[in-house]
């Protein structure tokens, strides 16, 4: 429901609809941030109930929900232009607002058969005078996809959207012309636009529209509104190539019915465009050196470093110059220094890889939480496309290299000691072989009393590991009936 264009000048003034001398808030405008008064309701068909949401159309004067002086608000229900019942008074007392949370629920009269003929109007009365129409349903309406309110596109991609046009609450059965436009944003370069910006003719209530996103990693020259001009005569600044990763990019696209009557039916859709990590980097992660991986990850996390530099902090106490304790915040996760970038030469140090993997897991665990989880990484919806896939590929690459290093060391040990090993392979499923191995470790300790504590520790840890292995084998034997050999 939209404000009736025929409302009186007194109502405009009391409700703050006319805020500027030269500009009427009921007139069409390119100001997509203007917060027009509008109402909405939904029908629960089976229960025959109407749920009216009134917070967006009541012109509260302040945060205390103060109403325009001496005004009351009513709902009227009609069918085929005939009002069916007495106006329903919307209770706007503080108690009712607190209780109802901004909704008003009432039943649909049994006399209404076809819900497509059902209409609501919001009427107002000042000083208990006659009712005048404030909001009413327009003849036409626009819906993008399944009433989608925003779009998120990946860098350089196109997305087809379905536009539906309704006339009197039914899909329009005649051709309607739609004007599509792209809107500049004072905080971002133009990064999203209609691929078919000319007038689109809608066929029987639906139209296919394509929105295109700028390639943020290889952009053509575009004006950047965030770079200020030093003088009025200076040309606007432009940027091109790889646009900075530590910023948010987006603008509005709009569609408007080519219709000369009021109110103007126009839909403004905010579009966010995200940077994208190349799929080639994900697929060929093993070919990337340490410096390249560090560059990619730093860019992915750069907007966290810019917008949330003190996101991860802990509350602690330190002593001031006089020895008195004072509370401080300590940053324990410095995003730029947090991750370990291990080079191929350092793979032999398994602990370095483990530390890197654990820190990657920290990000993955936060990024992949449910949206309603307060521990989810903030602004995860703005994380670059393929960013999570790149982190997973990087983690797998590190682990694969560690496994390769372990395998090579194992094979080298076997090759270097073929003569000794050839004297008899051990079957770990033959418990007597394992028992002999434990006895052999004990004899080493007995025969070499000069062993250092560190050397004894290594032997004892091996002995404990063998005991643990045997516990698992014995437990498995409870449920197995098949004999196995494993050398």
pLDDT tens across the length of the chain (487 residues): 888 888 888 888 888 876 555 555 566 555 666 667 888 899 888 888 999 999 888 888 888 888 898 999 999 988 776 666 788 999 998 898 889 888 999 988 777 777 777 888 999 999 988 999 999 888 888 888 888 889 999 999 999 988 898 888 888 888 888 888 888 888 899 999 998 776 677 778 888 889 999 999 999 999 998 877 767 777 888 999 999 999 999 999 988 888 877 788 888 889 999 999 999 999 999 899 888 998 999 899 888 878 777 666 777 888 888 888 888 877 766 666 777 777 767 676 777 788 888 888 988 998 999 988 888 887 888 899 999 999 999 999 988 888 888 888 888 887 887 777 666 566 777 778 888 888 888 888 788 878 888 888 888 888 888 888 888 888 887 776 665 555 5
Strands 151-154 and 266-274: parallel
| 412: in domain | no
Helix (H), strand (E) counts: the chain = 11, 23
CATH number at residue 124: 2.60.40
Closest CA to 251 of 224, 276, 228: 224
Directed axis angle between helix 290-300 and helix 387-416, to 10°?
150
Same domain for 363 and 292: yes
In the prediction, which pLDDT does 32 show? Answer: 61
CATH of the domain at 178: 2.60.40.10
Q: Is residue 39 part of a domain?
A: yes
Co-location of 270 and 396 in the same domain: no
Domain boundary among 224, 256, 274: 274
Pair (291, 311) in one structural domain = yes
Residue at a domain's end among 137, 169, 192: 137
What is the torsion angle, in degrees rounded to the nearest 10, for the CA atoms of residue 376, residue 381, residue 387 and residue 392?
30
Say yes or no: 400 and 368 in one domain.
yes
Query: pLDDT at position 82, please?
Result: 67
Question: What is the per-residue pLDDT for 75?
Answer: 92
pLDDT digits (tens, 9 = 90+) for 245-279: 999 999 999 888 888 777 888 888 899 999 999 99
Residue 203 lies in a domain: yes
237 and 284 inside one domain: no
Give the CA angle between residues 74, 76, 77 to the nearest 5°: 150
Do residues 139 and 168 make contact, with C-beta atoms less than 8 angstroms apart? yes
Structural domains in the chain (count): 4
Tokens representing 341 are 């970038």
Residues 232, 287 within the same domain? no
Query: Could you tell me if 308 and 381 lie in one domain?
Result: yes
Task: Find the domain containing 439 and state its range.
Answer: 425-477
Give whole-number Cα distances, 120 to 2, 43, 47, in Å.
11, 11, 18
How far CA 252 is from CA of 93, 140, 267, in Å, comes to: 37, 21, 10
The last residue of a domain, from among 137, 154, 182: 137
Residues 81 and 45 in one domain: yes
What are 132's two structure tokens?
Answer: 């005048």
Residues 318 and 385 in one domain: yes
| Same-domain status, 24 and 91 | yes
CA geometry: angle 425, 432, 472, nearest 5 deg: 95
CA–CA distance, 107 with 119 (Å, rounded to integer):
13
Q: Looking at the structure, tell me whether residues 353 and 395 fall in a common domain.
A: yes
Q: Are residues 155 and 54 located together in one domain of the fold?
A: no
State the pLDDT at residue 30.
58
Residue pair 190/214 in contact (Cβ under 8 Å)? The answer is yes
257 belongs to a structural domain: yes
In angstroms, what is the C-alpha Rg of the chain? Answer: 35
In a domain, 415, yes or no: no
Q: Give domain status of residue 58, yes or no.
A: yes
483 inside domain: no
* pTM for the full predicted model: 0.76
In a domain, 418, yes or no: no
């Amino acid at each position: 429901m939209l404000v009736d264009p025929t409302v009186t000048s007194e109502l405009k003034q009391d409700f703050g609809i006319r805020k500027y001398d030269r500009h009427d808030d009921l007139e069409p405008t390119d100001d997509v941030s203007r917060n027009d008064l509008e109402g909405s309701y939904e029908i629960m068909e089976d229960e025959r109930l109407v749920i009216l949401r009134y917070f967006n159309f009541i012109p509260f004067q302040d945060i205390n929900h103060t109403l325009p002086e001496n005004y009351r608000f009513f709902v009227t229900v009609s069918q085929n232009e005939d009002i069916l019942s007495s106006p329903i008074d919307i209770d706007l007392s503080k108690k009712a607002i607190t209780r109802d949370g901004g909704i008003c629920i009432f039943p649909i009269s049994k006399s209404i058969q076809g819900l497509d003929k059902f209409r609501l109007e919001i009427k107002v009365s000042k000083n208990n005078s006659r009712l005048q129409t404030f909001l009413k349903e327009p003849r036409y309406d626009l819906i993008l996809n399944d009433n989608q309110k925003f779009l998120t596109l990946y860098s350089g991609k196109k997305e087809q959207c379905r536009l539906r046009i309704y006339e009197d609450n039914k899909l329009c059965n005649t051709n309607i012309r739609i004007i599509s436009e792209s809107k500049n944003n004072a905080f971002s370069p133009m990064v999203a636009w209609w691929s078919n910006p000319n007038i689109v003719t809608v066929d029987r209530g639906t139209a296919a529209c394509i929105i295109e996103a700028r390639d943020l990693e290889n952009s053509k020259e575009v004006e950047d509104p965030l770079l200020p001009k030093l003088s009025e005569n200076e040309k606007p600044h432009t940027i091109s190539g790889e646009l900075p990763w530590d910023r948010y990019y987006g603008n509005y696209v709009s569609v408007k019915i080519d219709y000369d009557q009021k109110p103007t039916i126009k839909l403004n859709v905010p579009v966010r465009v995200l940077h994208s990590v190349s799929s080639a980097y994900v697929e060929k992660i093993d070919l990337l050196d340490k410096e390249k991986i560090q560059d990619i990850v730093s860019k992915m996390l750069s907007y966290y470093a810019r917008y949330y530099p003190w996101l991860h902090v802990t509350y602690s106490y330190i002593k001031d110059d006089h020895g008195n304790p004072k509370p401080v915040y300590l940053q324990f996760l410095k995003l730029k220094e947090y991750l370990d970038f291990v080079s191929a030469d350092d793979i032999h140090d398994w602990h370095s890889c483990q530390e890197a993997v654990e820190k990657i897991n920290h990000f993955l665990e936060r990024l992949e939480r449910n949206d309603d989880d307060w521990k989810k990484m903030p602004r995860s919806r703005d994380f670059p496309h393929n960013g999570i896939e790149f982190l997973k590929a990087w983690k797998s690459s590190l682990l694969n290299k560690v496994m390769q290093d372990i395998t090579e060391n194992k094979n080298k040990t076997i090759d270097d000691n073929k003569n000794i090993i050839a004297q008899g392979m051990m079957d770990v499923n033959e418990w007597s072989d394992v028992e002999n191995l434990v006895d052999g470790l004990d004899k080493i300790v007995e025969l070499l009393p000069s062993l250092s504590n560190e050397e004894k520790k290594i032997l004892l840890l091996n002995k404990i590991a063998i005991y643990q292995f045997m516990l698992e084998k014995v437990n498995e034997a409870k449920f197995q009936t098949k004999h196995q050999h494993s050398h």
